[in-house]
Amino acid sequence: MTGSQRIPRHVAIIMDGNGRWARSRGLPRVKGHEQGVERIRPIALACAERGVEYLTLYAFSTENWRRPRREVRALLQLLSRAMDRKGEAYLEDNIRLRLVGSVERLDPALQQKVNEAIELNQHNTGLTLCLAFDYGSRAEIVRAARTIASDLDGSEVTEETIEQRLYTAGMPDVDLLIRCGGEVRLSNYLMWQSAYAELYFTEVLWPDLDEAELDRAFGEFSRRNRRYGALDGGGDA
C-alpha cells in the first residue's frame, strides 16, 4: 500500500467462511469459528495501523439464532472466552470496543461480561472495534422507528432523526464493506449505513483474511470514484 492511497474511515466486514474453512480441513465447524475469533485482533490492528477509525464486524446476526442449538451454544461460549481474553489485549492496543446490536437475549452473566469488556476500553483513543452481535439491519430500523413513534409528537422525521436512533449513532457511514467467502450479498448488514459504501467481495475465507488481501481491498477502494449520485467529469450518470 502506498502513502498516496485513500484510506476508508469506516470499514465493515462480513466474516463469512468459518464453516467452510473447517470443513476443508476435516475439522468440526466450531474449529472454524475459533479460528475466526483469532483473526479479529490481527485485522483490527492492521486497520488501525493504516489509519482506519472504525471497524465493524458481523459477529452474530439475528438470523443466527436459527442455527442448530449446539452451534449457537458454541458461538456464545466463544464470545464469552473472547471477552475474557481480548478485553485486556484491546486495552493494551488502545482499541475501543463498542456493541452494535443487542445482548438482551444473552444470559445475565454473559451480558455482564460483554458490558465489562466494553467499559474497560471506553477511554481508549485508537480504532473503534464494533462487534455487530444479535444484529439485523431491518430489525435495527424497526427499532429506530418504534422509538421515534414513542418520542416524537408529530414532529418532522428526517434522516438525522433515524440515524440518531440506530445502533451506530454518532459513527460515520460505512466507506468500505468487505465480504469474505465468495458470497455476493449484504445479508441484512448495515443497509442504512452502507447506502454509499464501496463493496468488495473476496473468495478468501474469513479465517484466512490477511494484510495482503486487506490491502487489495483498500487499493480497490482508493481507485474508485465516489460520486454519491452526482455526475462524473464526463457528464455520464
Phi, psi of 104 (to 5 degrees): -65, -30
Tell me, yes or no, if 64 is annotated catalytic: yes
Instruction: Determine which one of 18, 64, 115, 134 is catalytic.
Output: 64
Residue 225 known to be catalytic = no
What is the C-alpha separation between 60 and 75, in angstroms, rounded?
Answer: 9
> How many CA atoms lie within 13 Å of 123's alpha carbon, on the beta-carbon side?
1
- Of the CA atoms within 13 Å of residue 179, those in its CB half-sphere come to 14
31: CB partners within 8 A, 6+ apart = 22, 25
Helix (H) or strand (E) holding 60: strand 54-61
Show which residues are catalytic: 16, 64
